[in-house]
Amino acid sequence: MTREPLKIGVLGYRFMGKAHANALARLPMFFPDAPDVERHTLVGRDEGALADAADRFGFAHTATDWEDALDEVDVFYNLGPNHVHAEPSIAALEAGVPVLCEKPLAPTLDEAAAMRDAAADADVPAGTAFNYRFVPALRYAKGLIEDGELGEIRQVRGRYLQDWLADPEAPWAWRMDADMAGSGALGDLGAHTIDLASFLVGDEVGGIDRLSGHLQTFVDERPVYEDGGDVDEGSEGGDGGDAAVAEYRDVTVDDAYSAQVAYESGAIGTFEATRFATGHKNDHAIEVHGSKGSLKFSLERLNELEVLRDGDRGYQTVLVTDETDPYVDRWWPPGHVIGWEHTFVHENYEFLRSVSTGNIPDTFPTFEDGYEVQQILEAITEADKRGEWVNL
């Protein structure tokens, strides 16, 4: 029996909307075993911009009210700003509609808890969009760790460096408002690193026992330009060109954070992120050091993994493009690299297969995973306020 395509509704049509729409379009060509989908309804507030985006992204319908979309779709993607994650996602789950929500799960821990509870009560999948779990090189790294190639894990180091706010005249955006975003570099970038560390070594080191945190804001206010040229989504920073400044708005989130963590196993971790690292465009990197070996990964060289095994005299660079590597058999011959956008294709593939089968893989980030990351974000913020280590 032929199944009807899954009707996909998407809230948000800028940075993340484009990334996920591209992934949905690629699925039939490269992942023929993925469920058939229909890009059905695109949701946003600006009717003109929304209609243009729907045309470019291949959506048949638009809506300016997410509640209207829920009645029409089989799956709901919540890609809006952080402050609109909770209400639409909870409503969708209560209506029996599976949800994929962008990270961080919510601006506050209470909202994240409500989303986690709604997902637990629902009989449909709910996923948090931590797309870096789906980088083939990081899947390969996880396999090495699970196979004991690194021995006992002793230290994890993670950083996420960008520079799109280094210019103090870069325009104000919702990501700089605590009420809408929750936090700045901590939630925007640090959430990815914290989840990735948990994905790679969580089974080996256990949970985080205690942590410290330091948050810093470098620029207290930013301009809003008369042409409205602020940054609405993602790391698409820039100045206002020749536009006049209409006003300045307060920046109420962190521009950078750092944290130290002590794991239950006795391993330690250090994490940092900033949107002020001049010269770094999207430098997400993680290192794992064990008693028998180490590995290093950088998103700016996402097809490579540097591996040091017991007895090696130095790191070996592994090009993770062989047909035996995770997901790579779907793309090109060995040595033909893939890119950042492919992580979203892999993520969408796994999530939509979960919707189709009703079973979400252990490696897919759920709302429970999103909530656990939110707990750590909250604890880092609390540690900064108190100026001392915080127990989880």
Domain's final residue, options 132, 162, 186: 132
pLDDT, tens digit, for every residue of 228-274?
Answer: 544 444 444 445 556 788 899 999 999 999 999 999 999 999 999 99
pLDDT, tens digit, for every residue of 158-198?
Answer: 999 999 999 999 999 999 999 999 999 999 999 999 999 99
Amino acid code (one letter) for 332:
W
pLDDT attached to residue 359: 86
**Predicted confidence band at 226 (pLDDT cuts at 50, 70, 90)?**
confident
pLDDT attached to residue 383: 98
pLDDT, tens digit, for every residue of 370-382?
Answer: 999 999 999 999 9
Domain's final residue, options 91, 107, 132: 132
Among residues of the chain, what percentage have pLDDT more than 70?
A: 95
> How far is CA 240 from each of CA 6, 123, 173, 247, rounded to the nearest angstrom?
41, 47, 12, 12
pLDDT attached to residue 228: 57
- Asked if residues 187 and 377 have their Cβ atoms less than 8 Å apart, the reply is yes
Q: How many domains does the chain have?
A: 2
Q: Are residues 30 and 127 in the same domain?
A: yes
Classify residue 352: in a domain, yes or no: no
**Predicted confidence band at 71 (pLDDT cuts at 50, 70, 90)?**
very high
Q: Are residues 107 and 83 in the same domain?
A: yes
Q: Are residues 87 and 159 in the same domain?
A: no
Classify residue 343: in a domain, yes or no: no
Cα separation, 184 vs 175, whole angstroms: 6
pTM, to two decimals:
0.94
pLDDT, tens digit, for every residue of 339-360?
Answer: 999 999 999 999 999 999 988 8
Q: Are residues 119 and 189 in the same domain?
A: no
Pairing of strands 208-216, 390-391: antiparallel
Tell me how long the chain is. 392
> How far is CA 144 from each of CA 1, 42, 154, rounded to the nearest angstrom?
41, 40, 15
pLDDT attached to residue 2: 53
Residue-number span of the structural domain to which 289 is assigned: 134-338+366-391
Q: Are residues 244 and 383 in the same domain?
A: yes
For 173, phi then psi, to 5°, come to -145, 170
Q: Are residues 45 and 179 in the same domain?
A: no
pLDDT attached to residue 243: 75
pLDDT attached to residue 238: 46
Q: Are residues 127 and 29 in the same domain?
A: yes
Q: Are residues 123 and 164 in the same domain?
A: no
Classify residue 324: in a domain, yes or no: yes
Q: Are residues 242 and 318 in the same domain?
A: yes
Classify residue 66: in a domain, yes or no: yes
Residue by residue, what is the 3-state secondary structure of 201-244? HHHHHCCEEEEEEEEECCCCEEEEECCCCCECCCCCCCCCCCCC
- Asked if residues 58 and 39 have their Cβ atoms less than 8 Å apart, the reply is yes
Tell me the average pLDDT across 69-96. Answer: 97
Cα separation, 363 vs 274, whole angstroms: 27
Tell me the average pLDDT across 3-21. Answer: 96
Instruction: Identify the CATH number of the domain in which residue 90 sits.
Output: 3.40.50.720
